[in-house]
Structure 1
């Protein structure tokens, strides 16, 4: 009877499988959106469906992993713009620039808006819901920008960061199948911005 692989070998195999599944998932989500077939991802990655499920127990977990690099970049950008407002930049302009970049990412990267939109428990995990990590990360990163704009009187006091992320997700999902989703999303966001400022 052959000896079982060592724990170190098992960990290395698991890391390789994870990287391979994620690389295939990124391509499949880019091509087919959030509904990309998990079975096809497993087949192309050369692993079983159970292996995909072991690494990514839910579709949301997979979409979050696929979107992580973009989310990290947007969070870093929010911190840069917050620093700029501390050095005198107009707080409303900084907030709107960042939100515009989130809109652009969502319109260009299929799977990002659904990753932000998915919430609560999925059917297969109804007993163990978890927070939306992508949305939470953006809300936390953007909150200082919103606070500064609100304190400056440039944004209505009752506007919250979850409101703004939800608005962006709605725009991105509504324009996903438009002939020019980026342009349409940008236009709708511009229309929505007119309602952000408090009445004078």
Structure 2
């Protein structure tokens, strides 16, 4: 097999970086303004023209799905990295849960965009669970094995609890999901004897 190098490989790497920049910008705008935010706001945030967005993502649903998948991957990849770089497994779990909350806020509104495509939505939900549940379990199990958190819960229950706390954030500026999730995660902590 012949490997490509030089300009073709560099061009693909640049295209991948540009697409990631665009997805990061869209996620930021979606968090601030919801998934119905004007595409021009996303273009402005990404520093690109509208044509660039439409070339990559012909429909809003295409963009939302791409942001969703991009965020899932970023969240999944962060777990193992946090486990090796954090001071304790509990600190890694806590930091990962904060990233998970950011992801949940970003994906808020996805159902309304994909309402007519229930099979597509189910597929994304399965993808979400398949990628993130094992990461949460790894972090939670490490913290439990270290004696830092109670072990009578499962990673699935923790993710559901976090998800349920994030549901109330839509349209209510007084509701701080991250603060309430912090209370939940603090409640997992075992105090030293």
Cα separation, partners in 2 of 1:188 and 1:154, compared to 1, 3 Å: closer
Cα separation, partners in 2 of 1:65 and 1:38, compared to 1, 3 Å: farther
Cα separation, partners in 2 of 1:19 and 1:145, compared to 1, 3 Å: closer
In the alignment, the residues of structure 2 paired with residue 98 and residue 156 of structure 1 have an alpha-carbon distance, to the nearest angstrom, of: 16
| Corresponding residue of 2:81 | 76
Question: Residue 49 of structure 2 is aligned with which of 7, 20, 44?
Answer: 44
In the alignment, the residues of structure 2 paired with residue 23 and residue 162 of structure 1 have an alpha-carbon distance, to the nearest angstrom, of: 31
Question: Residue 60 of structure 1 is aligned with which of 41, 62, 65?
Answer: 65
Cα separation, partners in 2 of 1:12 and 1:53, compared to 1, 3 Å: farther
Listed as ranges, the gaps of 5+ residues in structure 1 are 1-8
Pairs aligned (count): 170
Deviation string 1:7-49 (CA, Å, 9 cap, x unpaired) is: xx99987765554343223223213325155854578353363
| Corresponding residue of 1:124 | 117
Question: Residue 137 of structure 1 is aligned with which of 115, 127, 131?
Answer: 131
Q: Superposed, which structure 2 residues align to 1:158-169 within 5 Å?
A: 159-169=153-163
Listed as ranges, the gaps of 5+ residues in structure 2 are 1-6
CA RMSD of aligned residues (A): 4.6
| Corresponding residue of 2:4 | none
In the alignment, the residues of structure 2 paired with residue 135 and residue 98 of structure 1 have an alpha-carbon distance, to the nearest angstrom, of: 20
Deviation string 1:119-165 (CA, Å, 9 cap, x unpaired) is: 9xx443726825554554332123234335279695253x2212212
8 A Cα contact 2:72 2:132, kept in partner: no
